[in-house]
Structure 1
């Protein structure tokens, strides 16, 4: 009985360490593939990423790359990618999805372009901070970002985005920093938690409305005037129709000469 118990415990311990080993291997391979994809998809005219060399096989070698932070310096698990103000060109890297431990991504102050993918929430599902600000991304703000429920900070300002802020963003209850300044955005601001997102976050978007900006109105006075005008117009038109109809019915009366009957008698 004791022997069986020891064999069982040994089996459990071995299985546990095998599971951890497999997980670490997968995480290592996945994160290396992530950075390879990012490196291949971006143009680096200023050679900031020149030390991104993938011919090393030592554990933790990618943690020495410029802009890369790891969960532990001796593990190939990327926790943060800080590639701000490097003059990078290209589009939002699809391979970023392979950085399975990523919690922070900063592409700000570069020249990235092309529309941000609608499936961006799949690419960065667990990030806490996302900053693609000050680039050249066109199009609209992806609604799918509302699925990134762990977001604490989202900075989208100073791109070429237009349209509305998706109302679904109100579901980002952990969001404490949000910025969409210097756009051509319009419509109501999502119903964020009161006092968390200040007015400055929406600066230079004159067509935006709603808390903390000016209240959204449908111009009730204008609507009342339109309704009243329509009612008056309807009554006037009805009266005109009745008058014209009466004239047509009694037209012979107006063709008789004054003082004579239809047979010409005095």
Structure 2
């Protein structure tokens, strides 16, 4: 997209936009800036999906439909596993690549799908750590499913900034350390599991206390209810451990 702006006497007298630019009328400098922001957002979503394809091995050719040479309005919305706000614009709301056999580290470029609400990469062979800034980059995420992978390292405390999250599935990985107590702030959380990892320490006092013991099962040493029975540096009381 090319924009030419001519300014005279502190106001815009003329601006022109190419035919394939954003199909809305932008009035004044603020309007132009808003249009540029939207346009950049749409381009960043294309980059987001491209980074997934380029950073992960795809032995099953699940991503074979992800052809970026098309480059027309809404072309990425026809990709397998991709859902857009509508089929006329490249704005990604959901990526679902469950059991796709994808291999490699968590695709960092996914942070560019800033409007995403649902991310399901479960049942693959993702390795490495969960990005610490994921909640900042995907602030509107409602569902995150990274279960059944090979992810390792700690659960980032910043996940507590997923203020709209309803579903958080991190089970069946190789995650270590403690469950961040900050996660207790997730007051919209209705489905949660960290089972079958290598976690230890106390379980956060979630506002939704209906999560079953199965949500924490088969970890090294998570202590669940009652919280007062968890051993800490100043207390040598018995632990109530999740059975493994």
- Would you say the 8 A contact 1:121–1:145 is kept in 2? yes
- Would you say the 8 A contact 2:230–2:237 is kept in 1? no
Q: Tell me, in whole angstroms, the C-alpha distance in 2 between the residues paired with 1:177 and 1:213.
A: 20
- Aligned pair partner of 1:40 in 54, 71, 82: 54
Q: Could you say what secondary structure the match of 1:22 adopts?
A: helix
- Aligned pair partner of 1:156 in 170, 174, 181: 170
- Would you say the 8 A contact 2:189–2:208 is kept in 1? no
Q: How far 1:152 sits from its partner (Å)?
A: 1.1
- Would you say the 8 A contact 1:94–1:123 is kept in 2? no
1:85 aligns with 2:99: yes
Q: Tell me, in whole angstroms, the C-alpha distance in 1 between the residues paired with 2:224 and 2:33.
A: 51
Q: Could you say what secondary structure the match of 1:154 adopts?
A: strand
Residue by residue, what CA displacement relative to the aligned partner does 1:17-58 show, whole Å, maximum 9, x if unpaired? 756643442222111111111111111111000010111122
Give matches, 1:198-237, under 5 Å: 198-205=212-219, 207-211=221-225, 215-216=229-230, 218-220=235-237
Instruction: Look at both structures and tell me which one has the larger radius of gyration over its CA atoms.
Output: 1
| Residue in structure 1 matched with residue 36 of structure 2 by the alignment | 22
Higher normalized helix content (fraction of residues): 1
- Would you say the 8 A contact 1:198–1:212 is kept in 2? no
**Which consecutive segments of 4 or more residues in structure 1 shift more than 6 A?**
none
- Would you say the 8 A contact 1:199–1:213 is kept in 2? no
Q: Could you say what secondary structure the match of 2:62 adopts?
A: coil
Residue ranges of structure 2 left out of the alignment (5+ in a row)? 1-24, 239-244
Gap change, CA 1:127 and 1:45, over 3 Å in 2? same
- Would you say the 8 A contact 2:190–2:208 is kept in 1? no
Q: Tell me, in whole angstroms, the C-alpha distance in 1 between the residues paired with 2:230 and 2:152.
A: 26
Residue ranges of structure 1 left out of the alignment (5+ in a row)? 1-12, 222-266
| Residue in structure 2 matched with residue 113 of structure 1 by the alignment | 127
Q: How many residues align?
A: 209
Q: Could you say what secondary structure the match of 1:54 adopts?
A: coil
1:190 aligns with 2:209: no
- Aligned pair partner of 1:70 in 84, 89, 95: 84
Gap change, CA 1:165 and 1:38, over 3 Å in 2? same
Aligned CA RMSD, in angstroms, stands at 2.3
Question: How high is the TM-score relative to the length of structure 1?
Answer: 0.72
- Aligned pair partner of 1:104 in 115, 118, 128: 118
Higher normalized strand content (fraction of residues): 2
Q: Tell me, in whole angstroms, the C-alpha distance in 2 between the residues paired with 1:175 and 1:145.
A: 12
Q: How far 1:195 sits from its partner (Å)?
A: 2.9
